[in-house]
């Protein structure tokens, strides 16, 4: 079967992310460490990872960040991720659902996640679409996206770094705030605003607080670089100009820990914040929770296991959960919220 343009793009994104090194130059979680507690006075078995997020009970504070859907092989990837999300009772997002809205035969690459008992399913669409669609079409399309995966929340992805590097990118940012506001005011599920590797600043988080969104996923710099992915895509298409742009902007963005501190400062104490970007294991997750995140998003670290098998995906998530538990035990924290009182050492 011949792939349409969106399908080939989705396929290329995943293939490049698997085959090339698309990480930003530096992972800023390496600069942070948690203060060791040599006398934790709790038992590891009493460490409780359960978390409530957007009214849903999760067994541990992890979100499988939205990555894929929209080309045939994505179905198996989403299926393996969904099986793991069910087993570990975690939140899970899918990648941009635009392809599923446009092409009927691609819907099952997303809606396969409906077959699993996942406590919090998150739909996904790029922010530029809100401007291109306008208010009424946005409401109608997002309602279809919600139906497609039985979404409990929808993420609007601020991916302007990618849009500006991508040779076919749609860098329509004028009117996005208005689009977000209108959607959040008129849809009856929570709206999450997410970045995808360039981070959210204090100022942007403050502006988002003027809308009725329910959570921010700050998606900072330190993990997957979309400039890097688009660099390799442009090379694949013999496009020297965009390949060069991808290289120039490879490390563009706000480091995830810094973005987390800025967002936490900008929003109310109880406003839900997801930290993502460069989370490689449960110890990175513990650092993010100690810096004030309510939940931690993981994308690239789960991509390879999810392309291999359900067993590999389960192994990886089990490792994340066990590492987080170990870090909590070693800092004397018996529940997730208590991590906020642990001293974080680093440049903060």
Ligand X SMILES: Cc1cc2nc3c(=O)[nH]c(=O)nc-3n(C[C@H](O)[C@H](O)[C@H](O)COP(=O)(O)O)c2cc1C
Among the residue ranges 47-55, 79-87, 292-300, 322-330, the one whose residues contact ligand X (CB under 6 A): 292-300
Of the candidate residues 291, 300, 306, 344, the single one contacting ligand X (CB under 6 A)? 300
Smallest distance from the beta carbon of 142 to ligand X, in angstroms?
14
95 forms part of the interface with ligand X (CB under 6 A): yes
Half-sphere exposure of residue 235: CA atoms within 13 angstroms, side-chain side = 12
Q: Kindly report the backbone phi and psi dihedral angles of residue 93, in degrees, each rounded to the nearest multiple of 5, phi listed first.
A: -110, 160
CA distance 42 to 70: 46
Smallest distance from the beta carbon of 341 to ligand X, in angstroms?
26
199 forms part of the interface with ligand X (CB under 6 A): no
Give the nearer residue to ligand X in terms of CB position, either 51 or 196: 196
Among the residue ranges 13-21, 30-38, 54-62, 282-290, the one whose residues contact ligand X (CB under 6 A): 13-21
Give 348's contacts (C-beta < 8 A, 6+ positions apart): 32, 257, 258, 261, 291
Smallest distance from the beta carbon of 235 to ligand X, in angstroms?
17
Give 199's contacts (C-beta < 8 A, 6+ positions apart): 218, 219, 220, 221, 253, 254, 255, 256, 258, 259, 277
Which secondary-structure segment (H or E) carries 165?
Answer: helix 160-165
216 forms part of the interface with ligand X (CB under 6 A): no
Please, which of residues 226-285 interact with ligand X by CB under 6 A? Answer: 276-279
Give the nearer residue to ligand X in terms of CB position, either 170 or 334: 170
Please, which of residues 19-58 interact with ligand X by CB under 6 A? Answer: none
130 forms part of the interface with ligand X (CB under 6 A): no
197 forms part of the interface with ligand X (CB under 6 A): yes
327 forms part of the interface with ligand X (CB under 6 A): no
Of the candidate residues 6, 7, 12, 14, the single one contacting ligand X (CB under 6 A)? 14
Give the nearer residue to ligand X in terms of CB position, either 194 or 233: 194
Beta strands in 112-262 (DSSP E): 120-126, 153-158, 191-195, 215-217
Give the nearer residue to ligand X in terms of CB position, either 124 or 181: 124
Interior CA angle at 70 toward 100 and 139, to 5°? 30
Give the nearer residue to ligand X in terms of CB position, either 208 or 333: 208
> Both ends of the chain: CA-CA distance in Å?
52
80 forms part of the interface with ligand X (CB under 6 A): no
Sign of CA dihedral 42, 45, 49, 55: negative
Smallest distance from the beta carbon of 62 to ligand X, in angstroms?
11
Residue by residue, DSSP assigns 250-288 as: TT-S-BHHHHHHHHHHHS-TTS-EEEESS--SHHHHHHH
CA distance 67 to 186: 26
Give 52's contacts (C-beta < 8 A, 6+ positions apart): 58
List of residues contacting ligand X (CB under 6 A): 13-14, 17, 65-68, 95-96, 124, 155, 157, 194, 196-197, 219, 223-224, 276-279, 298-301, 303
């Amino acid at each position: 079967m011949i792939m349409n343009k969106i399908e080939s793009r989705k396929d290329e994104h995943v293939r490049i992310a698997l085959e090339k090194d698309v990480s930003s130059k530096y992972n800023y979680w390496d600069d942070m460490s948690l203060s060791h507690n040599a006398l934790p006075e709790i038992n590891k078995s009493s460490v409780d990872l359960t978390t409530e997020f957007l009214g849903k009970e999760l067994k541990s504070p992890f979100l499988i960040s939205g990555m894929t859907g929209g080309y045939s092989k994505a179905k198996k990837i989403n299926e393996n991720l969904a099986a793991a999300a069910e087993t570990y009772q975690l939140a899970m997002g899918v990648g941009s659902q635009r392809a599923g809205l446009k092409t009927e035969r691609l819907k099952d690459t997303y809606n396969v996640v409906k077959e699993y008992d996942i406590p919090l399913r998150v739909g996904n669409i790029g922010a530029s679409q809100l401007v291109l669609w306008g208010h009424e079409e946005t409401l109608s399309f997002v309602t279809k996206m919600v139906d497609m995966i039985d979404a409990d929340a929808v993420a609007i992805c601020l991916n302007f770094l990618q849009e500006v590097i991508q040779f076919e990118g749609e860098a329509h940012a004028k009117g996005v705030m208005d689009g977000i506001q209108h959607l959040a005011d008129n849809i009856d599920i929570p709206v999450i605003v997410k970045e995808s590797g360039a981070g959210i600043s204090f100022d942007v988080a403050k502006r988002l607080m003027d809308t009725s969104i329910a959570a921010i996923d700050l998606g900072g710099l330190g993990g997957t670089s979309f400039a890097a992915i688009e660099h390799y895509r442009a090379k694949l298409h013999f496009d020297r100009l965009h390949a060069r742009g991808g290289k120039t902007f490879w490390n563009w963005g706000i480091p995830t820990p810094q973005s987390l501190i800025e967002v936490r400062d900008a929003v109310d104490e109880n406003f839900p914040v997801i930290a993502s970007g460069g989370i490689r294991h449960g110890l990175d997750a513990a650092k993010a929770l100690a810096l004030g995140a309510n939940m931690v998003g993981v994308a690239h670290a789960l991509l390879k296991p999810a392309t291999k098998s359900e067993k590999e995906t389960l192994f990886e998530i089990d490792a994340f959960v066990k590492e987080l538990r170990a870090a909590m035990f070693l800092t004397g924290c018996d529940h997730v919220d208590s991590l906020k009182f642990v001293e974080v050492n680093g440049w903060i």
